[in-house]
Each structure stands twice: as C-alpha cells, then as structure tokens.
Amino acid sequence: MLKFLPILLAVLYGVAMYHFSARRTRRDLDARSTELADPGLRRLTDRLAQALDLPRIRVNVYEVDAVNGLAAPDGRIFITRGFYQKYRAGEVSGEELISVIAHELGHVALGHSRRRMIDFSGQNALRTALGMVLGRIIPGIGYYLAGLLTSLLAARLSRGDEYEADAYAAALLTKAGIGTAPQKSLFAKLESWTAGRGGTTPAWLLSHPKTDERVAAIEALESRWKLS
Ligand SMILES: [Zn+2]
C-alpha cells in the first residue's frame, strides 16, 4: 500500500493543480472582458446566428494585447483587444475577424473547449504528475519522458480539433453567405505579420497547425462540396 502512496499523491497534486489553473483562467476572463459592441461586426455575427437558427451570438472582448481568439469551457467566445484593434486599424476585415469567431464557435459546438482547457491548464499538471511517477520508475530520464509524452498527447488532441473547427467554420461561413475567402486570407495575414516584424508570431497561430496545411484542408472540403 505504501508503495502506491507517492503515485496517489502525484495524481492528487495533478488534479488540484488543474482545478486551480482552470479557475484562475476563468476568473481572469471574467474580470478582464466586456461584451463586444461594434455595429459592423454585429451585422456579421447576426448572419452567423441566422445560419445557426440562434437569436444572436454573444462575443466578448478580452483585454489583452495578444492577437488571439478563444472559446472558454463554459461556451463563451472571446476575441482579444489586440485582435479587435487590428480590425479597427483596417488591418483585418470584419469578415476575417468573423472567421475567427466562427472557428471558436466550432470548438464550442464540437465540444472541444473542455478538452482545450485541459490542453492549456492541464498540460503542466499532467507533466508534473507523470514526472513524479515516471521519475520513480526510471530515475534520470523519467521526468524527460513525462514531458515528451505530455507534449505528444496534447499536440495529438489539439491538432485534430483545429482541423475540425476550421471545417465547421468553413461550412458556417458558406451557409451565412460570407464564404471561405476571408478565412484563408486571414491565415496569410497572420503569417505575414510573423515574417514582417522579426518573428512576433500572433498567439492564434502558435496554438494552431501550419497555415498552408489548414488552407489545403479547407480547399479539399470546398472541392468536395462542389461535387455533391
Ligand atoms: Zn482553434
């Protein structure tokens, strides 16, 4: 029994850390966000709502400078102040910004957001817990192995989710009459900002698969839709 105590402690520690981290993220989102109130964007979100048979889609602005969009585990959609500024400055069109909202809606509709929280908050917890266990079994490389396993698992989980959210967004944007062109042109813009400013990669790109592969996946969908 005593032999398993360290493993039990490690698992408990991992669970506690996950809850703590998830709660902190939620509190930060609550404290630092307001509802998006932009008439131009509202017209576009209303078109998405209509395509989904919903009365409206509520979008929140999260007060951080990073260019990012996110779906909270409770289903709320956020875009960052940094992303909204890009739209206000004319660097991103309303349709392009809406394509991010459609993608995040996909994460919510397909039930990814809970798992994504595990990605962000739980990765460290899992790494620590697994490291404590493996470190005991294989001294020396146990911790390293735990890190490797955790990253592999997270990348696996999120990669599939991203393609699914892109496909959902492509279908929704098509149904709403906006089309997939802004989805693809936004990818190109995000890439060019990375290249142009000495490598400040927008946060939204960092957590997603390679741009050219995402565009190719959307185009494959479109050619399939044209055939049917
Ligand atoms: Zn995503």
At 68-126, the pLDDT tens digits run 888 887 889 999 999 999 999 999 999 999 999 999 999 999 988 666 555 555 666 77
Using CA atoms, how far residue 159 sits from 112, 170, 214, in Å, is: 11, 17, 11
Ligand 1 centroid–CA 72 distance in Å is 12
Ligand 1 centroid–CA 115 distance in Å is 12
pTM for this predicted structure? 0.78
Ligand 1 centroid–CA 104 distance in Å is 6
Torsion of CA 102, 108, 109, 110, to 10 degrees: 110
The helix, strand and coil proportions of the chain, stated in percent and rounded to the nearest 5, come to 70, 5, 25
Domains of the chain, by residue range, sit at 5-227
Give the range among 42-51, 74-83, 113-122, 206-215 with minimum mean pLDDT. 113-122
Ligand 1 centroid–CA 11 distance in Å is 28
Pairing relationship of beta strands 33-35 and 59-62 according to DSSP bridges: antiparallel
Neighbouring residues of the ion ligand 1, judged by CB less than 5 Å: 162, 165
Ligand 1 centroid–CA 34 distance in Å is 21
Tokens linked to 207: 């957590």
Ligand 1 centroid–CA 112 distance in Å is 9
In angstroms, the CA 14 to CA 131 distance is 10
Ligand 1 centroid–CA 8 distance in Å is 33
CA geometry: angle 133, 135, 138, nearest 5 deg: 110
> 110 φ, ψ to 5°?
-90, 5
Q: What is the pLDDT of residue 209?
A: 77
75 residue type, one letter: G
State pLDDT tens for residues 150-176. Answer: 777 776 667 788 899 999 999 999 999
Burial 82-107 (b: 16+ CB within 10 A, else e): bbbebbeeeebbbbbbbbbbbbbbbb
Q: What is the mean pLDDT of residues 199-217?
A: 78
